[in-house]
């Protein structure tokens, strides 16, 4: 029955985006524990980039260039 399982490979950008999103959330939780607001904001930024990477299919550096050009 293994033939019935469909394999849906994730792109490298989706994997990297998921990692950045989770890393950002972890930074936010850690920052709250140690009361570090700067780390919390960095975590929010990484989470945002991770979500955008997944939705737009762009790398983090591509997204940073787009934001700089706004």
Q: What are the distances in angstroms from CA 4 to CA 7, 8, 10, 56?
A: 10, 13, 19, 30
The answer to whether residues 25 and 17 touch, using CB atoms and an 8 Å cutoff, is no
The Cα 70–Cα 53 span in angstroms is 17
Kindly tell me if the per-residue pLDDT of 17 is higher than 70: yes
pLDDT band at 7 (very low <50, low <70, confident <90, very high): low
This prediction's pTM: 0.66
Lowest mean pLDDT among 8-12, 19-23, 26-30: 8-12
């Amino acid at each position: 029955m293994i033939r019935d399982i469909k394999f849906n490979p994730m792109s490298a950008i989706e994997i990297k985006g998921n990692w950045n999103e989770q890393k950002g959330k972890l930074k936010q939780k850690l920052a709250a524990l140690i009361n570090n607001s700067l780390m919390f904001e960095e975590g929010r930024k990484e989470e945002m980039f991770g979500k955008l990477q997944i939705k737009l299919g762009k790398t983090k550096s591509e997204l940073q260039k787009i934001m700089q050009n706004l």
